[in-house]
Structures are given as C-alpha cells and as structure tokens.
Structure 1
Amino acid sequence: MQTKSVQSDKGIGFAVLFSVVTVIAAAGMVVSGDQLTTAVAFAVAVVAASLAVVAAQAFW
C-alpha cells in the first residue's frame, strides 16, 4: 500500500530551461563571426543539452 506520493514538475521545468539555453547557444553558433565564439557556443549547447537530459531523469 502506498502511503505517500510526491509529484514534482521540477524535472520538466529544468529540462525546458536547459533546452531553451541549448537553442540559444545553437543560434549563437550560427550568427557568430569567429571560430572561438562558435566553439564556446557549441560547448554551452552540449553542456546544456546534457543537463536537460539529466534534469529530466533526476526528478523522475
């Protein structure tokens, strides 16, 4: 018998937040002028995408 149920939307919220950061960083890759800025935007996009997946799983 289940006595306590905890539901949280934190996982969805963090996943959406990091997904938006990923999209913004990907757009930054497209509009950047030099190679260093593109590389930094790519790194931010990859880290944010990874954090979106982790957030969705951590608060399951």
Structure 2
Amino acid sequence: MQTQDIQSDKGIGFAVLFSVVTVIAAAWMVAAGDQLTTAISFAVAIIAACLAVVGAHAFW
C-alpha cells in the first residue's frame, strides 16, 4: 500500500535563497571598514545560515 507524500521544492528554494544571503553578508563582513558594520554583517550571515537550514527542513 502506498501512502501519499507531497514534496515541495520550497525547501530547496529557501535554502538557496538564504545561502546566497549568507555568502553576500560574509563578503560584506570581509569588505567592511568599521567594526559595527562587520558585526552586523556577521549577525545577518549567521541568521541567514540558520534560516537556510530551517527552510530546508521545514519543507522536506
């Protein structure tokens, strides 16, 4: 007997989207001149990386 399994590509889309945001924020962190901008870029990169993992698992 086969059960229904609905799979969506949203998980992959969210993972890719937030991974791109993570890479951009990490690059901005390296290129930033002052410490405050570096800290904000690091926070954005960490949050986006966490959301990439959550997005991949939430729609699996």
Could you tell me which residue of structure 2 aligns to residue 59 of structure 1?
59
Structure 1's unaligned 5+ residue stretches are none
Structure 2's unaligned 5+ residue stretches are none
TM-aligned CA deviation for residue 30 of structure 1: 0.6
Q: Report the TM-score, using the length of structure 2 for normalisation.
A: 0.93
1:10 aligns with 2:16: no
Could you tell me which residue of structure 2 aligns to residue 24 of structure 1?
24
Please, what is the CA RMSD of the aligned residues?
0.9
TM-aligned CA deviation for residue 48 of structure 1: 0.1
TM-aligned CA deviation for residue 35 of structure 1: 0.1
Q: Once the two structures are aligned, what percentage of the paired residues are identical? A: 78
Could you tell me which residue of structure 2 aligns to residue 47 of structure 1?
47
Q: Report the TM-score, using the length of structure 1 for normalisation.
A: 0.93
**Aligned-partner Cα distance in 2 for 1:51–1:3:** 30
